[in-house]
């Protein structure tokens, strides 16, 4: 089994992988998400032998339609295509769940691409509502799970 490390990184260090995997049709400067530079936003990198393989970001944001200030939003989750299915994404999600738990979080949610919904279901997420379209990006589900 390959040994990997997970570490905290800056928002700017997530953007090349976000661009390559999630939004190659957009300009890199369009990959600056609201909340990226907030002091309590967590950005994680999973690397193998110094090579970035996956990234994820999370920050406090109520689940849409609720006032729950203890919820965290997972955003910008990306794994290099040739390394998908190796457990790297799951490792990052588990690290995010643990971070939320340690900081009083009660729920983790995301807008999951329809193609990734099965990945999130395996990690305990459930769809909250019908599929919807994010303009310019594609079909998604709002998914969440308790932490």
Per-residue pLDDT of the chain (147 residues; tens, 9 = 90+): 568 999 999 999 999 998 899 888 888 777 888 889 888 899 999 999 999 999 999 999 999 989 888 999 999 999 999 999 999 999 999 999 999 999 999 999 999 999 999 999 999 999 999 999 988 788 999 999 999
Q: Where are the domains of the chain?
A: 5-146
Just give the CATH number of 5-146: 3.40.630.30
Compute CA distances 5 → 15, 55, 69, 97, 108, whole Å: 19, 12, 30, 17, 22
Q: What angle do CA 60, 64, 69 make, to 5 degrees?
A: 35
Q: What angle do CA 134, 78, 3 make, to 5 degrees?
A: 165
Most distant CA pair in the chain: distance in Å?
42
């Amino acid at each position: 089994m390959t040994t990997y490390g997970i570490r905290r990184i800056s928002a700017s260090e997530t953007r090349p992988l976000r661009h390559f995997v999630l939004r190659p049709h957009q300009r890199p400067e369009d990959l600056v998400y609201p909340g990226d530079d907030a002091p309590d936003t967590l950005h994680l990198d999973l690397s193998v032998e110094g090579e970035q393989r996956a990234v994820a970001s999370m920050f406090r944001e109520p689940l849409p339609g609720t006032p729950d200030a203890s919820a965290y939003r997972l955003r910008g989750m990306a794994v290099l295509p040739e390394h998908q299915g190796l457990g790297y994404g799951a490792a990052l999600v588990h690290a995010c769940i643990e971070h939320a738990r340690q900081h009083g979080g009660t729920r983790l949610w995301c807008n999951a691409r329809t193609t990734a919904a099965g990945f999130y279901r395996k990690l305990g997420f459930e769809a909250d509502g019908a599929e919807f379209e994010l303009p310019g990006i594609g079909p998604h589900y709002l998914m969440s799970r308790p932490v």
